[in-house]
A and B are shown apart, each in its own frame.
Chain A
Amino acid sequence: MAYRLVEFELSRPPAAIELTPEESGIGLIGRWQDQLIGFQMIAGDPGSTFSAEALSILADRHFAPRVLVAMVEAELTSSAQEHPPLPSLSIAICTKDRAKRLLRLLHSLETVRRNSPFGEVEIVVVDNASTDSATREAVESFGYIRYVFEPKAGLDFARNAALRAATGALIAYLDDDVVVDRNWLTGLAKACRDNSGAGGFTGLVLPYRLDTEAQIYFERRGGFGRGFYRNEFRSSRFDNPLHPVGSGVLGAGCNMAFDRALLLDLGGFDEALDTGAPLPGGGDLDIFYRVLRSGRTMIYEPQFAVYHEHRETIAQLSRQYWSWGLGMMAFLVKSSRDDHELRSRHDAMVRWWFIDQARTLARAAGGLRGRDVRFGLTELWGGVRGLAGEYDRSCTRVKAIRELNR
């Protein structure tokens, strides 16, 4: 069972796609003159063929309206005025014991960096307490990449180490389980030029591969997708009275960039969130929230895209849903404590989250969808754990790690 990912340049007629006996569908990545337009998963019988005509019809249905928007946008942009020069950029990659995946990412960055619209680009790899030297050797094979060792295990320790080590005015964070799209920096540059005062940027996250049941399931349920339209977030929203507390809509921590001076002002990432195994989440929610609360804008730009390797097995995926519940609640507990002004929104968010989870569960149970029920329960249990003192437990753990590494 696998879905083949197919790039589909929509300005050219499609070619038929023949599925192998192991493949049960395609994931179409639609582009128009290289610009990302849409993503659509389409099931098919193993060994069957998607004819050119069938693909044309699919493309019309799923991509044509967005293509027209892109064409109008291109006309409008060509008449837009001059823009200020781009800031210097640091690309920060935090990794732990995943030299192979790191290499894959660094290779994808090579051409992107060479064609970069940013004048100055540095790449900083933060080795987050890896147990062997493979990570360092991988970085050294490139020559131009800076290597920083962070002995305190925990993603946000590593992100803060990168923040201190970097020199760029803008810092773009990548997780080690992604690969960047060829227009990744073009997308970031466009977002920067159009929004000179923005505090941060998030981007599209597409699947890197859909080879296992777990990966297909996860992407079907929405994955990390936040759509193909640019979005702008400020500290409140008319259409969502709980905003910015539900900051998950902004994007995901595996692909985000910030004004580095702003992050330093804000005191960097909260090291008690995103601590690896015990509390693997919440750090991105927290930093998005704090940037918005500082009064700066965050921009979601779909052309600023990466491909994420989703969890491979059902067990890993289940753990991810658990960590979402856990991280979300740890973040809510923390920020309702720190940000008194919006406390009622945090409380409402906690209520809403549990109601929403219960509703999803009820629907899954009603439809006798066993897997949805199990994942739903797992996420709900994560949420309960998160609400019941996980943030304080994490603070204690983080304190111990700091003591150890003094």
Chain B
Amino acid sequence: MTEPALLVRHLDLSTMRTDWRQGDAAAFSIFWWKELPLGMRASLPDELPFSEAHLRQLTAEYGAAQLSARSPMFGAPLRATFEGRPKQALALSHLFDKHDLMDGLERLATAPDAPAKQISIVICTRDRGEALAECLRSVTTQRSAPGEIIVIDNSSDGNAEPICKRFPEVRHLREPRSGLSVARNTGIRASRGEIIAFTDDDVELHPGWTGAIGRAFADESIDALTGLVLPARLDTPAQRIFQLDKGGFGATFVPLRFDERFFAETRPYGAHVWKMGAGASMAFRRSLFERIGLFDERLGAGAAGCSEDSELWYRMLANGGTCLYEPRAVVFHHHRGELAELRRQIRSYMKGHVAALVVQHDTFRDRGNLVRIFGQLPLYFLKSVLKNLLEGRRGQPGTLAPEIAGYVAGLQFLFRSGWRRERAPRLLAGGDDK
């Protein structure tokens, strides 16, 4: 499945009747209706070009999914299932005498960008070099200009400074204490906006990103937002394994509400908060940090591994907060190019995941987190091992071994009682808590 190189291409179904691409290379197609991301699929050369009928069918299926998830008259907004999929709310009575559905889709797709002056963008970076410039170019060319752009430089020698200097609107701040959570907290304390949006230094933003975030937060009931993370390139086997075999950063193209009901329903089995989104595209109301505290500095890259974002979402849901997953807030992520990097990343994801489960259990005493550690995860590993043995995934560079290694490494946190007594730092109302 990871054999052919995949060319990432973007198809706007609103203007496209026929696919011109003759099949000489495999492609990863991302479908849009103007600004609205609709779906994606990988195709071999034989499957291309898409026929006109095929494109029409995709338009119908994707269009219907957008309409039912975004139109209040069809039951929107939708809530999320255990698996982070949309819960169907459509009834036949909604459909009687409905016409001009395509006009409805058009209206959804061309909703104007909201102003973004109340948004502070925080980007944490560490030794990324030129890639940061690509990221900042996309941040500084947003159609709705954000109130401020802060780069937190987590390198030991402040090497992001010369790059930031090229962008006069970017504030460069150094945070020599290493760790993504530490850096993000520094960014939050330094920011002034009512909404704080995070992205990563290996990401490029869609030009409507801030506009989409501004629009979503116009709804007062939203405390946090997550967005869609699409692959920027799928040139190397490692990138394709991450996107296609490991599921990338998710593949849901309709908005979803994650609220206390989602939490109550999934809590006994360990709420699947990591299905809510990814740190590469997320935003929070400042008041949420005042209420529930900042990122937990024991978690995240540079500390336990990752999951500092999902642990914060867990804390938010447990305190009655609501997160909107809004795929219009699109970013393009550069997946790790080398297999060794990918394996390291997968290992640290799993290690951080276990650490976050321990933290969540310690804070809220939810047994579901232990069910996840001692039930679901070992079962998943067992199944994966059996599957590999049976189906003989030859030629597939193994990602299971680093995953299991990360799990075992994560178990150590259960036995570190000092570590387990620490808590996430607080943000005092109205500013700094140092």
Contacts and interface: CB of A to CB of B under 8 A. Distances in A.
Question: Real complex partners, A and B?
Answer: yes
B60 A65 contact: no
B156 to A, nearest CB: 43
Q: Is the interface of A mostly helix, strand, loop or mixed?
A: helix
Contacts of A230: 53, 57
Name, among A56, A63, A232, A297, the residue most crowded by chain B CB atoms within 10 Å (CB to CB).
A232
Interface stretch (B39-47, B138-146, B312-320, B413-421): B39-47
A43 interface: no
Interface string A188-202: 000000110000000
A234 B391 CA distance: 25
B61 interface: yes
B62 to A, nearest CB: 9
A71 interface: yes
Contact of A238 (B43, B53, B60, B67): B43
Contacts of A10: 92
Interface in B89-106: 90-96, 98, 100-102, 105
A64 B42 contact: no
Given A229-B61, A238-B44, A355-B391, A67 B53 contact: no
Interface string B31-73: 0000000000111101100011110110111011001100000
Contacts of B53: 194-195, 230, 232
Interface in B251-287: none
B78 to A, nearest CB: 12
Interface residues of B, number: 37
Nearest to A80: B56
B74 interface: yes
Contacts of B101: 68, 71-72, 75
Contacts of A316: none
A59 interface: yes
A235 B48 CA distance: 11
Interface residues of A, number: 35
In this complex, the member of B64, B102, B390 whose beta carbon has the largest number of chain A beta carbons within 10 angstroms is B64
B92 A71 contact: no
Interface in A20-68: 56, 59-61, 63-65, 67-68
A225 B42 CA distance: 26
B64 A68 contact: yes
B26 interface: yes
A236 B46 contact: yes
Q: Residue among B57, B92, B96 with the most chain A CB within 10 A?
A: B92
Given A10-B92, A76-B102, A194-B53, A68 B68 contact: yes
Contact of A69 (B61, B94, B105): B61
Given A238-B1, A241-B1, A64 B92 contact: yes
Given A68-B74, A75-B101, A77-B56, A355 B90 contact: no
B88 interface: yes
B58 to A, nearest CB: 10
Contacts of A241: 1
A56 B91 CA distance: 9
Contacts, number: 95
Given A72-B102, A238-B43, A229 B95 contact: no
A142 interface: no
Contacts of B42: 238-239
Given A10-B92, A59-B92, A60-B92, A69 B46 contact: no
A391 to B, nearest CB: 26
Contact of A232 (B51, B61, B67, B90): B51
Given A10-B92, A237-B44, A355-B391, A72 B57 contact: no
Contacts of A352: 391
Most buried by B among A77, A195, A239: A239
A64 B44 contact: no
Contacts of B47: 234, 236-238
A73 interface: yes
Contacts of B46: 234-236
A75 B44 CA distance: 30
B87 to A, nearest CB: 11
A11 interface: yes
A293 to B, nearest CB: 11
Interface in A95-130: none
B287 to A, nearest CB: 37
Given A71-B98, A234-B47, A355 B390 contact: yes
A67 B68 CA distance: 11
B68 A75 contact: no
A76 B59 contact: yes
B103 to A, nearest CB: 9
Contacts of B1: 238-239, 241
A194 B52 contact: yes
Contacts of B95: 64, 67-68, 71
A232 B44 CA distance: 14
Contacts of A67: 92, 95
A352 B74 CA distance: 43
A230 B61 CA distance: 11
A-B CB proximity, top 7 nearest: A194-B53, A73-B60, A69-B64, A68-B64, A236-B46, A60-B91, A64-B90
Given A67-B92, A68-B68, A73-B57, 18 more contacts: A56-B91, A63-B92, A65-B64, A68-B64, A68-B101, A69-B60, A71-B101, A72-B60, A72-B105, A76-B56, A76-B60, A194-B51, A232-B51, A238-B1, A238-B44, A241-B1, A352-B391, A355-B390
14 contacts: A56-B91, A64-B91, A64-B92, A69-B64, A70-B60, A71-B64, A195-B51, A195-B53, A229-B61, A230-B57, A237-B44, A238-B44, A238-B47, A297-B51
